[in-house]
Structure 1
């Protein structure tokens, strides 16, 4: 799950420096935080400008309606005065001295500015989200700060006989109990496909039922989830750039075919 954007906004109580510190502890790029803050700041300015442009369009429409109601001359020249203010500074008083023809030109200018501003907003939103997905969640204070998880992984507790014996991978173990058929699975479903068989099928079902019973006894509601999720939903809970090669993907006509 990505971080809340308000955590990057100082006016919302956020602290970008704290997130930078967290990135450093993860040995990740702290520049991502600066990039996000910069894009988000400009995005918010664009959002503010868009709201004002929408108000200006409504103001232009009302001014035109009022002039038409009062039967004022429409005018045949849309040239604006040389001292005409910037769009951000327009008021009803400024529009009141213009003709209908001139106000229509102003409205077109506002619509053009709105289009450009919205395009920039969308661009900034993409930059912001790209950086946000690459920034890690806050580490718990108990997590060791290290760039080598294997060398510096902390042992919380030991239980039972901890004598080191020969280690077998999960692939070795499932083959040893004849509970796995990888070659045929790959033929059917691709390189990661497999058939589970024999005792491991019963073991899997036993674990599922054990977990369900335990959860039900603690008042949890069992849920059977969909097998797949849309990309826009997945990106909310995973860094797609990191897991793109590890995820199963279904590509359709309207999906990420061009990726």
Structure 2
């Protein structure tokens, strides 16, 4: 959530910056916001006037009583003021709540260093690592390669519908090995604490990280059997949600910052609005696995932490020897809660393009303000932490990259050196 003082200080500047995001639109009902702000200011002025008048009248009552004179008329006037103050306080609470509701659908402001652009075409390449392999044969895609290794889209669709996958045998083992390898690197080399989180969360948790209320249609909702009134709960679309919210409504000890958390979890996304996109294979699924990284940091350290987190994601690709590039996302391609984002895109031979495999974002205080996650600063005052998140990595897309980049002419897959210990020393996967 944006700091409302930014809007009160320079509303036009905030709206102008917001409109550099994708499909410029009225993220905020400016007329309604302005009307509420006028009423709020008026109520606060009136409250101060009434409080001053009440204090003056209270002194007058004391003087009248001291002289033995009748103070009933003045007391009645004070009673009327008390009633007006109560009504004003109630209305002010309602205004503050409506202002907060308006702000819940407003995205984060892009950092001043973020390139301005309308869509992904405005992203800026920062660097590349590795050289795409020159094949002596026509490379096959992961769907064809995986068919003999246990990658079964037909059974997945039979069980759950389109964009679900069933894995068995070698490919299931490779998928597990990738997740375990990623967790080991992030915990043993990069200092993250491994976590296991719920896959179902409450509405307010999703509000905390920014998925709700704006992106409800992208979530899978949960209805609990036997309840007369089902609780509003959802399957997580990323473990960023549960990891970040683990510090909600807390005042953290500054000595414990940064907090670095990681988890391997399934992710559930309805992919609303993506009909027809990447329908073949594992690139865009309703259920997929991801190893997530989250950092909770001191505000002065968040951009240093962002660079570090990008490096932690890159380390996985480098150890797997997969060519990739790093992009700085433009204003029109960033997520709702992010103020700055770097994407990692891995080389996919069958498509002849780089595809996203990790996204690392600094959200600054946007999420912590919604969650009320704070720390006590050097002056002894509560201050909002900064939150960051990133994929370390998306397991399914890494599986795609390994299958396609390490394929052999006979359809077998050479196991990357970094993964062999996780597969009992196996060097080649065969169907």
Higher Cα Rg: structure 1 or 2? 1
- Supply the distance in 2 between the matched residues of 1:34 and 1:206 (Cα, whole angstroms): 51
Confirm or deny: 8 A CA contact 1:179 1:200 kept in the other structure: yes
**Alignment size in residue pairs:** 222
Pair 239,212 (structure 1): closer, same or farther in 2 beyond 3 Å? closer
2:216 is the counterpart of 1:244: yes
Pair 18,174 (structure 1): closer, same or farther in 2 beyond 3 Å? farther
Q: Which has the higher strand share?
A: 2
| Residue aligning to 2:193 | 221
Task: Pick one of 20, 23, 33 that aligns with 1:27.
Answer: 23
1:29 alignment partner, SS class: coil
| Residue aligning to 2:7 | 8
- Unmatched runs of 5 consecutive residues or more in structure 2: 234-431
- Supply the distance in 1 between the matched residues of 2:143 and 2:69 (Cα, whole angstroms): 85
Pair 116,30 (structure 1): closer, same or farther in 2 beyond 3 Å? closer
- Unmatched runs of 5 consecutive residues or more in structure 1: 76-97
Pair 218,195 (structure 1): closer, same or farther in 2 beyond 3 Å? same
1:157 alignment partner, SS class: strand
Confirm or deny: 8 A CA contact 1:26 1:146 kept in the other structure: yes
Q: How does 1:163-174 map to 2 (within 5 A)?
A: 168=141
2:200 alignment partner, SS class: coil
RMSD of aligned residue pairs (Cα, Å): 4.5
| Residue aligning to 2:110 | 138
Confirm or deny: 8 A CA contact 2:21 2:117 kept in the other structure: yes
Q: Displacement, 1:138?
A: 0.8
Task: Pick one of 114, 125, 131 that aligns with 2:100.
Answer: 125
Task: Pick one of 70, 74, 99 that aligns with 1:73.
Answer: 70
Confirm or deny: 8 A CA contact 2:151 2:165 kept in the other structure: no
Q: Displacement, 1:145?
A: 1.8
| Residue aligning to 1:84 | none
- Supply the distance in 2 between the matched residues of 1:68 and 1:249 (Cα, whole angstroms): 66
Confirm or deny: 8 A CA contact 1:178 1:198 kept in the other structure: yes
| Residue aligning to 1:115 | 90
Pair 104,199 (structure 1): closer, same or farther in 2 beyond 3 Å? same
Q: Displacement, 1:57?
A: 10
- Supply the distance in 2 between the matched residues of 1:163 and 1:221 (Cα, whole angstroms): 39
